[in-house]
Structure 1
Amino acid sequence: MNTIIYMVRHAEAPYNEGTERTRGLTTKGKGDVEKVTEILKEEGIDVIVSSPYNRAILSIEGLAQNLGLDIETFEDLRERDFAKVNIENLMSVISEKFYDFDYSLPGGESNSECQDRSISVIKNILKEHSGKKIAIGTHGLVMTLMMNYFDSSYGLDFLNQLKKPDIYRLSFENLELKEVIRLWNGDF
């Protein structure tokens, strides 16, 4: 029996230092949320879960309202914690250290720690909602790390080509990833 997970990377959000949990969406991001809803509203989604970060929730909120579903948040689906690093240095740190899964900035977490906590949630979702369709509001790096756990070909190149928003449909048999299809097309 196949279980389908729709990974929905959040829409465009303004970057404001210190507002990781609460920042919302840009005007463009809000418009793209309507497109996310249009793409997913006929997919037969049964369950909607999200990172607790506002931008992830806002990116799937229209879908939840359209389908009459609640959004269940999981703290362990949050984005990787980098501690204190300025935005200019963030992408270079990610690029230089992506494949060193145990590397972390002082006070932050490693890719390995982020992957372990998020995969624990995904495994529970796959077991609890076996045979269903689940949409997940997520972030670029944690999404890449979750997909990488099931298929190591999802790495830095995949992360670097992601859009805001982006949507991937993952088909599982039990805990085995069988197929990945990108549903987002920025030319809407």
Structure 2
Amino acid sequence: MKTFYIVRHCQADGQSKDAALTPQGITQSHELAQFFSSIHLNQIISSPYKRAIQTTEPLAHAKQLEIKIDQRLSERVLSSKPIDDWYEKLKLSFTDLHMTCEGGESSQEAMNRIVEALHEQIKLEKDHTLFVTHGNIMSLLLKHADSTIGFEEWKKLSNPDVYTLRYFKPNHVEIERIWHK
């Protein structure tokens, strides 16, 4: 069995790549470090976004682990331009995985890249890896493991949020939400 921890970043002050954690988000990052204090981790891999890195800094410091950056954990871009009905488009993207908006990435494309990052760790025989990412891309990774996961599950995600993916054999994956705040 291989265990992977999928973490959604703590509360941030925006959606840009440079958006930092809010004061509450900083407090949450320390709570997250405490939450993982008795859990063995081999490595931490993070999205390059500032809020994701800040989310894991207290944990990395406590565990004396380097934060590895992986672009594939970046948040999905729904569109490169503002769209008035973004919420409806996002909802549709969970059922039509190939739908794209102008300058955006389809759910399938985003899912493929985060699954590739996970499978790379599985092939390298890496275990007890913590991935720090974002809500939409995280929900797409969970959807890959369980096709019933969709828009409603995305709406229920919190900042932060933590799920485990446990791989028992190639086609048997168990998902569990372990963050209950």
The 8 Å contact of residues 14 and 20 in structure 2, kept in 1 or not, is answered as no
Separation in 2 of the partners of 1:87 and 1:76? 24
Separation in 2 of the partners of 1:74 and 1:21? 14
State the TM-score, normalized to the length of structure 2.
Answer: 0.92
Residue 90 of structure 1 and its aligned partner are, at CA, apart by 3.0
Give aligned-pair identity as a percent: 28
**What RMSD over aligned residues (CA atoms) do the two structures have, in Å?**
1.7
Where does structure 2 lack aligned partners over 5 or more consecutive residues?
none
Report the number of matched residues: 181
Residue 57 of structure 1 and its aligned partner are, at CA, apart by 1.2
The answer to whether the aligner puts 1:160 opposite 2:155 as a matched pair is: yes
- The one of 41, 45, 48 aligned to 1:49: 45
The 8 Å contact of residues 126 and 175 in structure 1, kept in 2 or not, is answered as no
Q: Which position in structure 2 is the counterpart of 1:26?
A: 22
The answer to whether the aligner puts 1:138 opposite 2:133 as a matched pair is: yes
Separation in 2 of the partners of 1:90 and 1:13? 20
Residue 40 of structure 1 and its aligned partner are, at CA, apart by 1.0
Give the SS at the match of 1:181: strand
The answer to whether the aligner puts 1:13 opposite 2:27 as a matched pair is: no
Residue 42 of structure 1 and its aligned partner are, at CA, apart by 1.1
State the TM-score, normalized to the length of structure 1.
Answer: 0.89
Separation in 1 of the partners of 2:125 and 2:107? 26
C-alpha distance 99-126 of structure 1, shift in aligned 2 (>3 A): same
- The one of 32, 39, 43 aligned to 2:35: 39
- The one of 171, 175, 183 aligned to 2:178: 183
Within-5 A mapping of 1:113-152 = 113-130=109-126, 132-152=127-147
